[in-house]
Amino acid sequence: MRASLAGAVLALMLIAAFLAGRHYSAPQAVPPTAPRTATQTPFPPDPLDISSAESRTIAVFQAARDSVVAITTSARFVDPFTRRTGETPLGSGSGFLWDDAGHVVTNDHVIREASRATVQLADGRSLPARVVGRDPGHDLAVLRIEGRDLPAPLQRPGAGEGALQVGQSVLAIGNPFGLDWTLTTGIVSALERDLPGTAGRTIRGLIQTDAAINPGNSGGPLLDARGRLVGMNTAIYSPSGASAGIGFAVPVAVAARVVPQLIETGRYAPPSLGLGFDARINAAVNRQGLAGVLVLEVAPGSQAEAAGIVPARLSRGTLLPGDVIVALDGAAVQGLDDLLALLDRHRAGEEVTLTLERDGVRREVALRLRPGR
């Protein structure tokens, strides 16, 4: 009994000696954890907090939206076996009201090859439209719709107003990819741009913009920050087949010259000098190194005849040049396309100055433009 008690005491002494050799530190007080505050995502601004620039954009869109239309086209076909006729959809585009008579302006390529066109208004009405006139040279066309309470036409700048500048804000409204009444915004990126046209003539003087213009936007309006019509969206630069962020619009000044003629006569003819030219002959002459436009015909009794303008003539199978137009109002004329583009900026009745060259001698002649035919 004593032995077992002595063994137990010895064991306790050994445990105490072991524990005495270890180091213990007093437990540290843990500071209380501060309660976490929930981080809230800020709410979007209240409609009353939008900026003045946003308010203006919204107001312009709301004011112009009803004057913009969606256009769908179809073509008539005849089944060669059953001889039954039908309509097949062609495509869609945009347009806008030009006047109070129901004339709608759009791109010529929107209605090309179409036998039927339907105009959809912003209020949901779909109205049949007939083609009034076309001008492939400017990619412009005019349709006519009839109905009650048609939307008001878009406001256009007055004479001497609305001169665009690079960097100016613009808005485009249209129906890209069938998404009705879409608004995009941007700036005027450049002016006086040229693009090859489908009619074999270069479309000149175009507005370049970075406002998104995609298929279906064609024919829609380009507006300035005041909501005035400054152009008609007509094309995108698309080397890859998709929008590359570069759009082009026909200036409203061009439409103001062309559209009234399309409404009145169904076609557009630029003012005439009373002279005759030939595109193929002139192109061949230009390829031989002769710059300018070869005069091939002078209208009898015209101012041109009275001014002594001499046309080219044939002698023993050789074309002997007469007068060659090398400038109009001081602007150089390299070929027929240049001359037609310069004439297109004038109206019948205005006077222009031609610079002519014959046998190495230059002279200037003033002519009053005649109505085109």
Positions marked active-site: 109, 139, 218
Bridge partners of 78, per DSSP, are: 85
Angle CA(44)–CA(47)–CA(48) in degrees, nearest 5? 120
The three state secondary structure string of the chain is: CHHHHHHHHHHHHHHHHHHHCCCCCCCCCCCCCCCCCCCCCCCCCCHHHCCHHHHHHHHHHHHHHHHEEEEEEEEEEECCCCCCEEEEEEEEEEEEECCCCCEEEECHHHHCCCCEEEEECCCCCEEEEEEEEEECCCCEEEEECCCCCCCCCCCCCCCCCCCCCCCCEEEEEECHHHCCCEEEEEEEEEEEEEEECCCCCEEEEEEEECCCCCCCCCCCEEEECCCCEEEEEEEECCCCCCCCCCEEEEEHHHHHHHHHHHHHHCCCCCCECCEECCHHHHHHHHHCCCCCEECCEECCCCHHHHCCCCCCEEECCEEECCCEEEEECCEECCCHHHHHHHHCCCCCCCEEEEEEEECCEEEEEEEECECCC
> Which are the contacts of 368, defined by CB distance < 8 A and separation ≥ 6?
303, 349, 350, 351
Bridge partners of 282, per DSSP, are: none
